[in-house]
A and B are shown apart, each in its own frame.
Chain A
């Protein structure tokens, strides 16, 4: 992680934090919440607006500021999930064809292979969002955000081995649930 940043009280420092983290936060929310993209963008905005209002109570370095944003995003996603449970609408989980464009598939893959991968991903997306929130978060951090096990362990305040085992169990559960969906 990088060295400490200037206090977030300064708009310029906050602006830099936004520029540095907005894509990561967006992907985190997308992975955790599932979509649709408009709601993910709304949640992303809410994260930064809350952080802006609460910045006076924040103290920490670059890594801490990112973790702080993840915590805010996590709570917002939980709240949004609760609202979704009250008003069920799984439209967000049915990724449209545009989702295929976000998949960086191998250029060597044939059109058939690419189509198969897209369909597999759509199914995987539904399976992923039936995982408990804590498991989903680990998968999102590890694969969608590309964090190392060490970084996830630091963020979750757990041992690296524990995180590794947890990730392995998440993948097993995904495979187990694959045919159930």
Chain B
């Protein structure tokens, strides 16, 4: 023990002051040791209150999102006007399920389904086809030199009117139908490349390619019904078919050109904008 270094004896107040002023703190070593304490380790393996809270919020957000999706789906399904509006906003090609298409053609609709490029399949004029379809049919307003209107046809199965235009080295096919339960006249393969374009302020789609028939089984007389033709086709991006498709004011339009010297995409868009 050392001798008193201070000769003056402190009074009680001084002693109290000295003791009260002594505030030792542990060194970092203590906290470093306590990091591996068992309660800290177990805490680390359990979600904290904040984590639990965050998980709860996250689950709630998913439930809310799912509810909104279901609600939106029901609205789209059960309210026709909203369905049509949504269809106009979110219009897109409905691709076929497979790149291979198997079509069965019966004698009754053989001509209807086949060969949209054959002029003999377009026996009607605009007025006649309008009467059959029951809606106003639009056509290309000003035809360039060399392109002429061939005729029109109405397909009951699609509730669609198709107009055929012909130039010396390509065909131009315009289909139109009211939006609703009808299906697209021209389907595309699931792997087809879709390019989005602007047509009259709405979003349209532009696709290059078409279905290429790879085999046709001619009727043998044993089919049911007799005369049925089986056609197998595959989607081919290299086919010289150029399709522009868009929805506008409750109608679906398709403008397709076929032929190596088909008009450019911009020309197709120009015609699409000028339909009257």
Contacts and interface: CB of A to CB of B under 8 A. Distances in A.
Interface of A: 11-12, 14-15, 18, 22-23, 26-27, 30-31, 37-38, 40-41, 44-45, 48-49, 52, 90, 94, 99, 102-105, 116-117, 119-124, 126, 128, 139, 143-144, 146, 171, 174-175, 178-179, 181
A102 B34 contact: no
Interface string B1-31: 1111110011110111011111111110110
Most buried by A among B10, B14, B19, B43: B19
Given A52-B38, A124-B18, 13 more contacts: A12-B48, A15-B43, A18-B37, A27-B23, A37-B26, A48-B34, A102-B22, A103-B22, A104-B23, A143-B19, A171-B15, A181-B2, A181-B4
Interface in B25-77: 25-27, 29-30, 33-34, 37-40, 42-43, 46, 48-49
B252 to A, nearest CB: 61
Contact of B30 (A12, A45, A116, A174): A45
B20 A90 contact: no
A27 B26 CA distance: 8
Contact of A124 (B15, B37, B43): B15
A145 B39 CA distance: 26
Contacts of A143: 16, 19-20, 22
Contacts of A144: 19-20, 22-23
B39 A18 contact: yes
A11 B22 contact: no
Contacts of B19: 124, 128, 139, 143-144
B22 A121 contact: yes
7 contacts: A11-B39, A12-B49, A41-B27, A48-B34, A103-B23, A143-B19, A178-B10
B39 A52 contact: yes
Contacts, number: 119
B208 to A, nearest CB: 63
B14 to A, nearest CB: 7
A171 B46 contact: no
A38 B15 CA distance: 26
DSSP majority for the A interface?
helix
Contacts of B12: 171, 175
B243 to A, nearest CB: 64
Given A12-B43, A105-B21, A23 B26 contact: yes
B16 A171 contact: yes
Contacts of A44: 26, 30
B4 A123 contact: yes
A168 to B, nearest CB: 8
A90 B39 CA distance: 34
Contacts of A40: 24, 26
A15 B40 contact: yes
Contacts of B15: 124, 171, 174-175
B53 to A, nearest CB: 14
A23 B25 contact: yes
Contacts of A120: 6, 10, 14, 18
Contacts of B20: 143-144, 146
Given A11-B46, A52-B37, A116-B6, A22 B22 contact: no
Contact of B1 (A37, A38, A90, A146): A90
B6 A37 contact: no
A179 B9 contact: yes
B30 A26 contact: yes
Contacts of B14: 120
B5 A122 contact: yes
Contacts of B34: 18, 22, 45, 48
A41 B26 contact: yes
B24 A30 contact: yes
Contacts of A116: 6
Contacts of A122: 5
A121 B26 contact: no
B24 A102 contact: yes
Interface centre among A37, A120, A124 (most CB of B within 10 A): A120
A145 to B, nearest CB: 10
Contacts of B24: 26-27, 30, 37, 40, 99, 102
